[in-house]
Amino acid sequence: MSRYDPATIEPKWQAAWTEAETFKARRTGDKPKYYVLEMFPYPSGRIHIGHVRNYTMGDVIARYKLSTGHNVLHPMGFDAFGLAAENAAMDRGIHPKTWTYSNIDDMVAQMKPLGFGLDWSRMFATCDPEYYGQQQALFLDFLEQGFVYRKNAVVNWDPVDMTVLANEQVIDGKGWRSDAVVERRELTQWFFKISDMAGELLDAIDELEDWPAKVKLMQANWIGRSRGLEFAWDLSAPVHGFDKIDVYTTRPDTLMGASFLGLSPDHPLVKMLEKDNAELASALAEMRKGGTTEEALEKAEKLGFDTGLTVRHPLDPSWEIPVWVANFILMDYGTGAIFACPAHDQRDLDFCRKYDLPVIDTFVALDEPAPVEAAAFVPPKTEKVKWISHFAGLDEATGQEAVDATIDWMQAKGLGTGVEKFRLRDWGLSRQRYWGCPIPVVHCETCGVVPEKKENLPIALPDDVTFDIPGNPLDRHPTWRDCACPKCGAPAKRETDTMDTFVDSSWYYARFTAPHAQTPTDLEDAAYWMNVDQYIGGIEHAILHLLYSRFFARAMIATGHLPQTAKEPFNALFTQGMVTHAIYQTKDANGRRVYHYPEDVTVEGGSARLKDGTDVEIIPSAKMSKSKNNVVDPQAIIATYGADTARWFVLSDSPPERDVEWTASGAEAAHRHLSRVYRIAADIAASDAPETREDDALLKETHKCIHDVTMGVESFGFNAAIARLYAFTNALSKSRAGKEAKTFAAKTLAQLMAPMTPHLSEEIWQLLGGAGLIANATWPEADEAMLVEDTVTLPIQVNGKRRGEMEVPRDMPKEEVEKLALAHEAVVRALDGAQPKKLIVVPGRIVNVVV
């Protein structure tokens, strides 16, 4: 072949890898294992260039580890349950199962031409009954072990999707998919007891040495350990059997600034009061609109209702404060009751100003003679302040010192108890949807809630469902819903809720170790392959998926499905940047924006035009979005340039943790370079040049490149490795070394490029007589002796200003260096026949001539 032809090369080598089962994970010999995993995709039907970047990074690591003598596990699957499939069913009349599996087929067909070194024999989708049947078995084991329970709870209800949302799925008070305003409803729900592991999950974060600091901080903040005081306020008069209200606070030092006592709309006392107070009931209905998350409540308008009750201050029974219901108080954090100190909490201050409640300062800044009324004074807990109230013996202290002192003081007087609490709440997993994993329990009038028998698993979803009515089709499917009780045999009903899709992705990494096992895992295989050595995915999963996976790993250990060593399932985590692209837009006759696909726009210099000459506005470097038409189709790139060009470009232009902008000119430049590499290799194969004096120099440069590229790949510095390969290609092109030296250099270049451009590298390897597949070849090792520089470049200064440089042997005597320096043209010109006043030589560093 006279030219680089990806359309011929790439299918050829993909077929060779398939035939040789090159990437099939094997437990062979005494090789070390390496498990690399990219977060598996949702089967939307199309992969985009961001997928290409993510999977190429993982593929580079997997191919590199294979060539360094590891048994490599590099699998692929699909996170296939979810609302999008049901929405497609409703919008297009396509069954979710048909839509999902069709999309999976399309995406696999798009992935394979990219040459990813994946073990396709392990592929599964989470909607496979073989997968979710084992997930149901896990659920039953978790239920038996106490990791799952059922209770009435206030939940986030999405009125459009008609399902419950986890707190993390409520964004700005709206459903993460529907964008509908979320409502608060009380329903019977299934929960994972993740809060029981809050302390362990938090403490173990410090052990995640190879995780990004930002991700660890996000998880730590989400778990949210706090130390505070739990104590009681006596009601001035008992009501509905309540004579006191328990409160938890993290700022007991502000107790003397209490303005009112606030109750959650879902507090038991409020529910009792609501029964015979129509005005309160009406106010509560308004308060219960919006999500239950702290974020949603923080942003919502502050709403309150005066119950007419009062409580006595714990330190002064003659001091009574009113009891209000407030919409920003959470029932499932603390006790569902707070005391408000508006002087030192902006949320409380906003509420008090709205309802004309008193504001009482408890401390001021050291340099402020009087309280500042413009806003709540909320200094950092590390800042020392001056106490006005002198409560608990406080005078001047930091906030943290004051909290600790107050807790000790209150405990000593028997007025409260210091306790540790966490922000993390139990994970509600019930979803009122069809396209999810059925919860394997049965409701029997005689026996109550009965776990299904494992021999009856999987409890498979019925195919004959319709989506013409909002809500869960399983509720309307009597032949599926109605069943016999597994315990007594009486007529019963199946649980029609399905599991949150985050359950599906919380253990898939473990299933990949034995995807065809008749149990959730094969403990022997899990012990061999776990943990995931390198996990790659977006930082948007820092809280949800990663935290849930850490919980699941611990629960699976406790139920015998993972070894103790898998407590932290991901040894190293890398969060990649996005691939961005310019947005091309015009405006129609009504002034509305019209977005154009990149292939419909001609860009020259800094301007862009449509094919009809219409000027186009360019918005640079934006996140790719189908709605903005600035997506790049990998299939089009493969058809034009080949898969290796796409792989090379997404790695070359930016550090992998940063965003990279896709440009047509960048792709063209990458393709030109790969074509050049092929031509250089072809020329070397056809030459018969004898040995020359430059052979050693090229050999030395080759070993330097091996060292630098190896360091780059191992540190995720793919762009730095590629920059070094560019430089080495230039050196090889210019070298006048003989064929043997050039062949060694070119074969080494092919090996070093193989993780990034595997098809081209295989072709060059074959062209130059390499044995077998380059994918199976041993990674080259740099000869340390070759990395030592024989010469050194010395800068030459004249009167402290750099005038030139010279290259000398590293061990050249100082006297010889002086002679060469005085003979240098820049020095001769500066001296102009005179003698230097001083000549300073710092061996290996610099020469300075003083004239």
How confident is residue 292, by pLDDT bands cut at 50, 70 and 90? low
Is the domain of 598 the same as that of 745?
Answer: no
Length of the chain: 851
DSSP 321-390: EEEEEETT--TTSTTSEEEE-GGG-HHHHHHHHHHT------EEETT-SS---SS-----TTSEEEESS-
Phi, psi of 591 (to 5 degrees): 85, 5
* Rounded Cα–Cα distance for residues 271 and 266 (Å): 7
The reply to whether 181 falls in a domain is no
Lowest mean pLDDT among 79-83, 190-194, 489-493: 79-83
**Mean pLDDT, rounded, of the chain:** 92
**Is residue 563 assigned to a domain?**
yes
pLDDT tens track for 327-352:
999 888 889 999 999 999 999 999 99
Q: Which two tokens mark 129? A: 């009954």
Residues 313, 275 within the same domain? yes
Query: Could you tell me if residue 203 is inside a domain?
Result: no
Q: In this structure, are 390 and 264 located in the same domain? A: yes
Give CB contacts under 8 A, 24+ apart, made by 367-371.
371/343
- Confirm whether 648 is domain-assigned: no
What tens digit of pLDDT does each residue of 593-607 get? Answer: 888 888 888 888 778
554 with 587, same domain: the answer is no
**Residue 366 to residue 377: CA distance in whole angstroms:** 12
Question: What CATH number is attached to the domain comprising 803?
Answer: 3.10.20.590
**Are residues 158 and 182 in contact, defined by beta-carbon separation less than 8 angstroms?**
yes
Rounded CA-CA distance 531/512 in Å is 11
Task: Give one DSSP letter per residue of 248-292, joined into a string.
Answer: EES-GGGGGG--EEEE-TT-HHHHHHHTT-HHHHHHHHHHTBS-S
- Same domain? For 277 and 392 the reply is yes
Q: How far apart are CA 17 and CA 10, in angstroms?
A: 11
Mean pLDDT within 800-814:
88
**Structure confidence by residue, pLDDT tens digits, 808-819:** 888 888 888 888
What is the domain range of residue 840?
Answer: 791-850
Handedness of CA 140, 146, 149, 153 (dihedral sign): negative
pLDDT at 599: 80
Number of domains in the chain: 5
CB atoms within 10 A of CB 73: 27
Q: Does a structural domain hold residue 671?
A: yes
* DSSP-assigned states of every residue in 218-240: HHHHHH-EEEEEEEEEEEEEEET
Provide the 3-class DSSP secondary structure of residue 782: coil
Whether residue 165 lies inside any domain: the answer is: no
810 and 758 assigned to the same domain: no
Residue-wise pLDDT tens digits, 546-588 = 999 999 999 999 999 999 999 999 999 999 988 888 888 998 8
CA 136 to CA 141: how far, in whole Å? 9
Examine the domain organization and report whether 381 and 268 are in the same domain: yes
Same domain? For 671 and 545 the reply is: no
Residue with more model confidence, 380 or 192: 192
Burial class (CB in 10 A: 0-12, 13-18, 19+), 327: buried
User: Taking Cα atoms as reference points, which of 464, 554, 449 lies closest to residue 510?
Assistant: 554
CATH label of the domain that carries residue 550? 3.40.50.620
Number of Cβ atoms within 10 Å of the Cβ of 83: 20
Picking from 787, 814, 842, the residue at the C-terminal end of a domain is 787
Query: H or E stretch including 245?
Result: strand 242-249
538 belongs to a structural domain: yes
> What is the pLDDT averaged over residues 289-303?
73
CA distances from 610 to 482, 605, 664, 666 (A): 60, 15, 16, 21
The residue out of 787, 814, 829 marking a domain boundary is 787
CATH number at residue 772: 1.10.730.10
Backbone angles phi, psi at 169, to 5 degrees: -95, 5
382 plus 245 within the same structural domain: yes
State whether 399 and 269 are in the same domain. Answer: yes
Coil/strand/helix, residue 645: helix
| CA-wise closest residue to 251 among 416, 412, 413, 425 | 416
User: What residue type is 745 in one-letter code?
Assistant: A
842 CB-near residues (< 8 Å, 6+ apart): 848
Answer yes or no: are the C-beta atoms of 418 and 252 closer than 8 Å: no
Cα dihedral 648, 654, 655, 658 sign: negative
In a domain, 10, yes or no: no
Distance between CA atoms of residues 532 and 573, nearest Å = 9
Q: Select the more confidently predicted residue: 60 or 387.
A: 60
The answer to the question of whether 302 is labelled as a binding residue is no
CATH number assigned to the domain comprising residue 592: 2.20.28.290
Q: Are residues 247 and 372 in the same domain?
A: yes
Q: What's the average model confidence in pLDDT over 719-741?
A: 95
Instruction: Supply the DSSP string of 683-704, one letter for each residue.
Output: HHHH------TTHHHHHHHHHH
Q: 748-799: per-residue pLDDT in tens? A: 999 999 999 999 999 999 999 999 999 999 999 998 888 877 778 899 999 9
Sequence-ordered list of residues with C-beta below 8 angstroms from that of 626, at least 6 positions apart, any chain? none
Q: Which residue has the tokens 């191992």?
A: 714
- pLDDT for the residue numbered 295: 66
Q: What is the pTM of this model?
A: 0.87
Residue 777 and residue 816 in one domain: no
d(CA 669, CA 285): 62
Of 369-373, 505-509, 514-518, 698-702, where does mean pLDDT reach its minimum?
Answer: 369-373
pLDDT at 589: 83
SS3 313: strand
